[in-house]
Amino acid sequence: MKIITSIFDLNKEIKNYKNIGFVPTMGGIHAGHSSLIKASQKKKSKTIVSIFINPTQFNKKSDFKNYPRYMKKDIAILKKLNVDYLFTPNAKDVYRFKSKKFNLKKSDKILCAKSRNGHFEGVLNVMNRLMSIIKSKDLYMGEKDYQQLYLIKKFLSKKFRVRINSCPTVRIKNKVALSTRNKLLNKKYLKIASEIALFLRKLKRKSKFQPSEIASILPNYKILLETKYNIKIDYLEFRDEKNLELNNFKNKFRLFIAYNINNVRLIDNF
């Protein structure tokens, strides 16, 4: 695996390859990331993984500071996975050149965009930059961050004529979605996260038969989970898979949650 930090070196290295898959990450590599890498390796002749903890997408400085960093371990895992290139640029270089600013419309200020002011603008900004550097025609992203996937499809897929390959959420046995942020939780909190995941999975299954009825009592479930587990739920909502419309049960839909547990924000969808 070649580890590249400069944009110039990366361009030199990949300019002759057309068949490249790109897996952007913020590190703390886990089996969720590996699933994206494997999906890319199945289809593409070369795979680039980036590790870049993007400062502009954190709406709290403390969150950026506390975000887990495991570069050494990550390199070892990525080598084992036979990744071709690891791109680890620094923020100065990524933000050196001028680039389009993204503003979300009111209709997009839902779910995480409602409470994390500027978060997705930061995500779109950095993805616009990374994609203009890497120019891959295939991007691999996880459904775990469903709204991110939705917004990148909406704002960037046409511009870069990139295929966005969405990969299902990888969970551990206890059904908790793998996430780098899980590393900030101890056993006790992971057990709670597991109970919540199991409960919501069941609720989603039930909702297939009577979605409107369950949607109408979601606020009660929200309070129930908050009091039982001493957590703060930001949202618990059913939304359409295609357009993220609230309580639209005509097409496929998902149950979305974001909550804070011991000061760690977790998101998931079922």
Q: Total residues at the site for ligand AMP (CB under 6 A)?
A: 17
**Smallest gap from residue 197 Cβ to ligand AMP (A):** 11
**Could you say which of 32, 44, 119, 121 contacts ligand AMP (CB under 6 A)?**
32
Catalytic residue among 4, 26, 32, 33: 33
Give the tokens for residue 255: 């149950």
Between residues 138 and 145, which has the closer beta carbon with respect to ligand AMP? 145
**Could you say which of 4, 14, 83, 141 contacts ligand AMP (CB under 6 A)?**
141
Between residues 112 and 214, which has the closer beta carbon with respect to ligand AMP? 112
**Residue 170 contacts ligand AMP per CB under 6 A:** yes
Residues 142-161 that bind ligand AMP (CB under 6 A): 142, 144-145
**Could you say which of 167, 197, 200, 214 contacts ligand AMP (CB under 6 A)?**
167
Between residues 27 and 192, which has the closer beta carbon with respect to ligand AMP? 27
**Residue 162 contacts ligand AMP per CB under 6 A:** no
- Three-state SS for the chain is CEEECCHHHHHHHHCCCCCEEEEEECCCCCHHHHHHHHHHHHHCCEEEEEECCCHHHCCCHHHHHHCCCCHHHHHHHHHHCCCCEEECCCHHHHCCCCCCCCCCCHHHCCCHHHHCCCHHHHHHHHHHHHHHHHCCCEEEEEHHHHHHHHHHHHHHHHHHCCEEEEECCCECCCCCECCHHHHHCCHHHHHHHHHHHHHHHHHHHHHCCCHHHHHHHHHHHHHHHHHHHCCEEEEEEEEECCCCCECCCCCCEEEEEEEEECCEEEEEEC
Residue 30 annotated to the active site: no
**Could you say which of 40, 147, 180, 269 contacts ligand AMP (CB under 6 A)?**
180
**Smallest gap from residue 68 Cβ to ligand AMP (A):** 10
**Residue 57 contacts ligand AMP per CB under 6 A:** no
On whether the CB atoms of residues 160 and 189 are closer than 8 A, the answer is no
**Could you say which of 7, 22, 35, 269 contacts ligand AMP (CB under 6 A)?**
35
Q: Annotated active-site positions, please?
A: 33
For binding to ligand AMP (CB under 6 A), which residues are involved? 25-26, 32-33, 35-36, 141-142, 144-145, 167, 169-170, 177-180
